[in-house]
Structure 1
């Protein structure tokens, strides 16, 4: 049974998907959830990962959140302060960035890479329990489009230390397109990819042409994310509590940690239901709190921020000269119906693809890419680069009196092109030449004997890391 995996490790959550015998599915964790909080806590002397780290008494734990921000080699002071403010452990950034986890029982030091490795190890355990064979667990990862090769390599090393065999790293927009099979479109199509995660936002416009994908424009915003909407909902509940009990939860760090956790759960419930019940035991001074929140109320609470979330998409659309016919929504915060409809209204004639749970889209795309790599037996998995090296120039192919635009600049490795070739019966050999433009000299030539081939025959071209492989059949 051939299996491979796709993982999207975000700032707030992680998702694991598998490719097994042609079927892609999301694997639930040991709590039965399809996404795992990307949170780690030191509770006493024990490490907690995922839901246990997120829940329970936050005041007794040393917690780190949004670790992925500091996995980027080009992180800035804003990233550092954001992680520090949202976490409850100290961050030392002298010669090397180090987290200081301190509880009443111990003090431990760790790095962003070690934290990422622990999260991957948790996912490795989940993946291991999902398969019967004990072979290597092959994996494709997704990384933000703007990340450098060095940053991507750090993700790879962490996943490998956790036990995975990493086949490739692809960009998050590319993974989103793969999840919806958009790369299979035979006609040219422009796609808006809107990703809204817990603490960041990416908007991309990608062009899909004859199965090849190129990202035309991209905007990344680290000041937009679902966490800000969660905070607004928590503040609203805090004000309701204060109005009734004359006690202010916003004056207590412990109370606000509880509120933020329950507000986040409430926000997720309201993505699918019209109302959610919030019950917080001993919110402040031993007083419990129980409240129903309707979706309409939540939408009213966040209404003032909607324009800021739409702005990057509006800016990108206005700067793009072309028709956008599809919209892909991904990222956990895009489960919010109000945000979905607002982004969709920017392009009324475009098809909105939202059939996959938004926080699972990128992991599913990675799993599909992993499955495609498994189906290419002529490539040694050990020889694959750990990042996508996109084609740096156009490639044209000439044969007989035909000229074919074989691969566009920006095409990723392992893309394939199949051409039906018509040839007279008396022709025994055909030369296929490769060019960087229709007018340029050939830089490579391959000849095939076609005497025994049924006419017309097929020529398959596969883009490898440093060459193009031609086959006839």
Structure 2
């Protein structure tokens, strides 16, 4: 049996494809949403869902929430004297969802389609897949959350749809996808997002706003920090939900049978959230740029994720797009229903024979290179994209590279995923080395072909043009954890960057602005911005103040020009 699972930061849901339609499966409490919370009781029992969430305020030391934000990194949580990684805790949530399906249908799931944020990188996706395997599931596919929501939206009436934007703001992540549906094909044109922005962040802002107002006597200071923060965040969540339906709410906590409370208005909350609301714009602009769309070309703005219920968010969206968003899909259910549709596709259900889905590569893939600036200086560790983000997959692209030293005997290609100009800011996926004939610099060349599919598999082929020698690497699993010696060596290399001569605040700010512009574009525009960065870096390294001042003025004027062309 195959199911579709929305593994969320705040809540999770599971759905099955039956009788030609997707159905959400209720949990043991009859609810369609299960809190993504785990708690270990003193007697060794493991609590999942609402029961675990209830213990967050009373026993935060043995309770974990929002652990999805740590998916793919080495951070661990101590529960009941045992260290747990995010995928371990996620596996417990997945297992609980499978228990609910078995209780509801009489059959236990063995396969699943699991959703992930569109902007999850390679490590995060593989950690999610491991979580499914730990739960006893064969993960047939990982599908991007806004893509799943687009499936649910697109199947409402089976009609073709002009490009629409899925605005997915959940508990811990924010994703944007621009999608078209034409003749049974649901095609994702572009995705962007922020993996550190969600309803949890709005709770933290509200808690910080209300803490001094609700507790002027400082009674909360007597509690240990984990319990204090848990109580404040729980109160913030409750108040935020009130503000979703009213202009006023009460922020309240109870300490030793004493209730502390203070009123909060929607206007005060909106003012406190201004910085978060501004962050919602950046992924939207990036997605529109990547697929060369104007806001006026979008047919609908589809809201997904529980955090889109907040009036402050809906007001920001309305201002951003100049129109009211579409609220016809259930923000909490759309992703799970779309996952169930994908599960039906995976099971080759006859009712879905005419539906196909086309996705995109979420991050840019490339190799590290050495570039020469206009003053003859060399810059190491520069990212050279081969497959740009938001390229439709499956895709195969090739780049050509040459030696930089006389009589060079080999070329090492380090393979990276990310958007940063310097590879130190991206994720290393693997390496491949090829011998080349010793010749003058630039005369030995190699073609590097990247082939990437929708499952996240990346195949890299390197061919030396002078000898025909070909080497191949398939990247499907995360590399082994580096040794402590390797970690120390890498930290030492990174530390060198802190003592670069480019220390003047004006130059640092301009370089940061240029690098953000590099991340915002793809294709020819990205390469042009990249060359601007290389030229400015060369001027900085010359330490000639006049040359630096001239280069700074030129770069500023160029960046002003491209900023003026932003679609919003």
Q: Give, in angstroms, the shift of residue 275 of structure 1.
A: 4.6
Select between 46-55 and 114-123 the one with higher mean Cα deviation: 46-55
Give the structure 2 partner of residue 376 of structure 1.
349
Label 1:33 to 1:166 Cα distance change in 2 as closer, same or farther (>3 A).
same
Task: Identify the match of residue 42 of structure 1 among 40, 43, 48.
Answer: 40
Give the structure 2 partner of residue 321 of structure 1.
292
Counterparts of 1:19-168 in structure 2 under 5 Å? 19-44=17-42, 45-56=44-55, 57-59=57-59, 61-72=61-72, 75=73, 93=74, 98-102=76-80, 107-131=81-105, 133-134=106-107, 136=109, 138-147=111-120, 151-168=124-141
User: What is the rounded CA distance, in whole Å, between the counterparts of 2:280 and 2:221 in structure 1?
Assistant: 26
Give the structure 2 partner of residue 280 of structure 1.
253
User: What is the rounded CA distance, in whole Å, between the counterparts of 2:316 and 2:299 in structure 1?
Assistant: 16
Select between 159-168 and 187-196 the one with higher mean Cα deviation: 159-168
User: What is the rounded CA distance, in whole Å, between the counterparts of 2:102 and 2:139 in structure 1?
Assistant: 15
The higher-RCO structure (CA 8 Å, 6+ apart) is 1
Label 1:262 to 1:378 Cα distance change in 2 as closer, same or farther (>3 A).
closer
Give the structure 2 partner of residue 271 of structure 1.
244
Q: Give, in angstroms, the shift of residue 300 of structure 1.
A: 4.4
Q: What do residues 10-35 of structure 1 show as CA deviations (whole Å, max 9, x unaligned)?
A: 22321223333234333333344432
> TM-score, structure 1 length as denominator?
0.65
Q: What do residues 114-137 of structure 1 show as CA deviations (whole Å, max 9, x unaligned)?
A: 212111111111222221x33645
Label 1:297 to 1:134 Cα distance change in 2 as closer, same or farther (>3 A).
same
User: What is the rounded CA distance, in whole Å, between the counterparts of 1:251 and 1:200 in structure 2?
Assistant: 33
1:182 touches 1:208 (CA, 8 Å); kept in 2?
A: no
Within the alignment, does 1:235 sit opposite 2:234 as a pair? no
Q: Structure 2 unaligned segments of length 5 or more: list them.
A: 353-359, 362-391, 397-450, 456-568
User: What is the rounded CA distance, in whole Å, between the counterparts of 1:60 and 1:178 in structure 2?
Assistant: 38
Label 1:175 to 1:410 Cα distance change in 2 as closer, same or farther (>3 A).
farther
User: What is the rounded CA distance, in whole Å, between the counterparts of 2:203 and 2:87 in structure 1?
Assistant: 27
Q: Give, in angstroms, the shift of residue 366 of structure 1.
A: 0.5
Counterparts of 1:245-260 in structure 2 under 5 Å? 246-247=217-218, 249=220, 252=223, 253=225, 254-260=227-233
Q: Give, in angstroms, the shift of residue 336 of structure 1.
A: 0.9
Query: Helix, strand or coil: the match of 1:110?
Result: strand
1:4 touches 1:138 (CA, 8 Å); kept in 2?
A: yes
2:120 touches 2:195 (CA, 8 Å); kept in 1?
A: no
Give the structure 2 partner of residue 17 of structure 1.
15
Give the structure 1 partner of residue 260 of structure 2.
289
Give the structure 2 partner of residue 311 of structure 1.
282
2:98 touches 2:108 (CA, 8 Å); kept in 1?
A: no
Q: What do residues 30-88 of structure 1 show as CA deviations (whole Å, max 9, x unaligned)?
A: 3444322222222323322222222234446323333223333xx4xxxxxxxxxxxxx
Q: What do residues 94-151 of structure 1 show as CA deviations (whole Å, max 9, x unaligned)?
A: xxx654334xxxx2233333212111111111222221x3364553211233445665
Q: What do residues 188-235 of structure 1 show as CA deviations (whole Å, max 9, x unaligned)?
A: 622222222223222222343433233333322234222221112222
1:241 touches 1:247 (CA, 8 Å); kept in 2?
A: no
Label 1:50 to 1:192 Cα distance change in 2 as closer, same or farther (>3 A).
same
Query: Helix, strand or coil: the match of 2:244?
Result: coil
Label 1:70 to 1:237 Cα distance change in 2 as closer, same or farther (>3 A).
closer
Within the alignment, does 1:8 sit opposite 2:6 as a pair? yes
Query: Helix, strand or coil: the match of 1:359?
Result: coil
User: What is the rounded CA distance, in whole Å, between the counterparts of 1:26 and 1:273 in structure 2?
Assistant: 29
Label 1:339 to 1:20 Cα distance change in 2 as closer, same or farther (>3 A).
same
Q: Give, in angstroms, the shift of residue 154 of structure 1.
A: 4.1
1:196 touches 1:331 (CA, 8 Å); kept in 2?
A: yes
Task: Identify the match of residue 273 of structure 2 among 286, 292, 302.
Answer: 302
User: What is the rounded CA distance, in whole Å, between the counterparts of 2:299 and 2:452 in structure 1?
Assistant: 21
Within the alignment, does 1:216 sit opposite 2:189 as a pair? yes
Label 1:116 to 1:288 Cα distance change in 2 as closer, same or farther (>3 A).
same
User: What is the rounded CA distance, in whole Å, between the counterparts of 1:135 and 1:62 in structure 2?
Assistant: 29
1:67 touches 1:112 (CA, 8 Å); kept in 2?
A: yes
Q: Give, in angstroms, the shift of residue 185 of structure 1.
A: 6.4
Query: Helix, strand or coil: the match of 2:204?
Result: helix
1:38 touches 1:66 (CA, 8 Å); kept in 2?
A: yes
> TM-score, structure 2 length as denominator?
0.55
Q: Give, in angstroms, the shift of residue 238 of structure 1.
A: 1.8
Within the alignment, does 1:340 sit opposite 2:301 as a pair? no
Query: Helix, strand or coil: the match of 2:333?
Result: helix
1:332 touches 1:359 (CA, 8 Å); kept in 2?
A: yes
Within the alignment, does 1:364 sit opposite 2:340 as a pair? no
Q: What do residues 146-185 of structure 1 show as CA deviations (whole Å, max 9, x unaligned)?
A: 4456654543443344344544322222101011126976
Task: Identify the match of residue 173 of structure 1 among 146, 159, 165.
Answer: 146
Q: Which of the two has greater helix per residue?
A: 2
User: What is the rounded CA distance, in whole Å, between the counterparts of 1:172 and 1:64 in structure 2?
Assistant: 23
User: What is the rounded CA distance, in whole Å, between the counterparts of 1:204 and 1:136 in structure 2?
Assistant: 29
Q: Give, in angstroms, the shift of residue 302 of structure 1.
A: 2.8
User: What is the rounded CA distance, in whole Å, between the counterparts of 2:41 and 2:16 in structure 1?
Assistant: 31
Label 1:273 to 1:16 Cα distance change in 2 as closer, same or farther (>3 A).
farther
Label 1:277 to 1:127 Cα distance change in 2 as closer, same or farther (>3 A).
farther
1:239 touches 1:248 (CA, 8 Å); kept in 2?
A: no
User: What is the rounded CA distance, in whole Å, between the counterparts of 1:318 and 1:390 in structure 2?
Assistant: 19
